[in-house]
Amino acid sequence: MKTFNVPIIYRSPLITAIKNRRKQQDRMKKDFSPTLLDFGTLKIMLARHFGFCYGVENAIDIAFRTVDENPGKRIFLLSEMIHNPHVNDDLLEKGVQFIMDTSGNQLVPWEALQPDDIVIIPAFGTTLEIEARLSALGISPLQYNTTCPFVEKVWNRAEQIGQKAYTVVVHGKPGHEETRATFSHSRHTTPTVVVKDMAEAQLLGEFISGKRPAAEFAELFKGQYSPGFNVETDLQRVGVVNQTTMLATETQAIADYIRGVILEKYQHEANAGERFADTRDTLCYATNDNQSAVTGMLQVPADLAIVVGGYNSSNTSHLVELCEEKMPTFFISSDEKLLSANEIRHWDFHHKQELHSFSFLPDQDVVTIMLTSGASCPDALVEGVIRKLLSFYGLEHKADELAESWK
């Protein structure tokens, strides 16, 4: 796979060495068991796959290179480039400005932009409407485009099935930048509707089967369907694509469910299966790997899990969701949230609040901790967490020994 020029401050020689060794031992990526870092009284189970994905490294490479190569120019990012506060803060410090926040609220008015300004499209991509707006301002929207190729693959697939008269169902968070972009691209080709979870998919299923009156659709899916969407005619042939960072198992379950509803409704037709488009090939490799690695990690007994990543990172919250099913889980943005061996600040993504908890480390002879991070989290932050945990057990010196042993 292509390699990128990512600032050294985001790298961790220790984590790189561990990842490289695991990669050499398992080139086909079949082994999802965690890496055991055994310090005696503290055992850390490091997920097989975690951290920066292809799309994030690509975006960071382009953004930092653009800053370096264009001194004196005004450089804007449409919104947060990736959902990691450390990376975004570093770009802000270099003078980059964000035009919108992650919810789409305007921070810099469009009228303030000039034709010779640089506007970087983030890894999530953007809407066709925003591309058109930039073009109208004399700014090429595709010159500094960091849209991940795996997101573009979803757009292409949506377009392909749209051209075959399938309606596209997007499994994603309606307000997320990537889902807004995918919705925008898809709706220009075909009727499109967004479902955020299985509950909404089941609601949509009731419209597909005709169990729920079409008149209720507009209210129940307000803001989530393309203009002119016709419940009577636009839910007869369907394909499901996703926001690439959703839980892959949930997307698959939603696709299977909708396929089942369609097959039941059209069971009298010999070719009923053709009413559902197979889009399994659009699931992002990094989301699959990171989620499978957590599932693999959770096969091993442990006392707690720590997941590192930006609090607004969708893919990170799904890793947390998986861990929470098995054990106490703490979602932190960096080692700074590990206040002491007794205190931790951590994000409750269900209620969108940071909690301050005590006694998070069990008082026992040997403690085993699962550790992973999201696709937008620098490995340096994960190493920081390992070092901080070691310090709580008086084992600081072990970090460098560990790095040596993995060389």
Catalytic residues: 178
Q: Give the x-and-dash track for 97-126 against ligand SF4 (CB under 6 A).
A: --------------------------x---
When the beta carbons of 307 and 402 are compared against ligand SF4, the nearer one is 307
Among 10, 50, 54, 144, binds ligand SF4 (CB under 6 A): 54
Residue 55 binding ligand SF4, by CB under 6 A: yes
C-alpha 56/C-alpha 251 separation (Å) is 22
Residue 298 token pair:
């959770």
Return the closest-CA partner of residue 172 out of 254, 52, 286, 262.
254
Among 6, 15, 42, 56, binds ligand SF4 (CB under 6 A): 56
Return the closest-CA partner of residue 53 out of 83, 93, 96, 8.
83
C-beta separation of 10 from 380 below 8 A: yes
CB of 78 to ligand SF4, least distance (A): 15
Cα→Cα distances 85→69, 92, 175, Å? 23, 10, 19
Q: What DSSP string describes 89-118?
A: HHHHHTT-EESB-TT--BSS-GGG--TT-E
When the beta carbons of 251 and 368 are compared against ligand SF4, the nearer one is 251
Residue 286 binding ligand SF4, by CB under 6 A: yes
Q: Could you tell me how far CA 97 lies from the centroid of its own chain?
A: 23
Strand ranges in 192-242 using DSSP code E only, listed in sequence order: 192-195, 238-242
CB of 181 to ligand SF4, least distance (A): 11
When the beta carbons of 150 and 225 are compared against ligand SF4, the nearer one is 150
Residue 150 binding ligand SF4, by CB under 6 A: yes
When the beta carbons of 148 and 235 are compared against ligand SF4, the nearer one is 148
Q: Could you tell me how far CA 179 lies from the centroid of its own chain?
A: 11
Q: Which residue is nearest to ligand SF4 (CB)?
A: 55
Q: Which stretch binds ligand SF4 (CB under 6 A): 105-113, 136-144, 204-212, 279-287?
A: 279-287
With CB under 6 A, what is the number of residues at the site for ligand SF4?
Answer: 15
C-alpha 221/C-alpha 229 separation (Å) is 11
Q: Encode 132-146: b = buried (16+ Cβ within 10 Å), e = exposed.
A: eebeebebebeebbb
Which residues, numbered 217-256, are part of the site for ligand SF4 (CB under 6 A)?
A: 244-245
When the beta carbons of 368 and 376 are compared against ligand SF4, the nearer one is 376
Which residues, numbered 337-396, are part of the site for ligand SF4 (CB under 6 A)?
A: 375
The contact set with ligand SF4 (CB under 6 A) reads 53-56, 123, 148, 150-151, 244-245, 284, 286-287, 315, 375
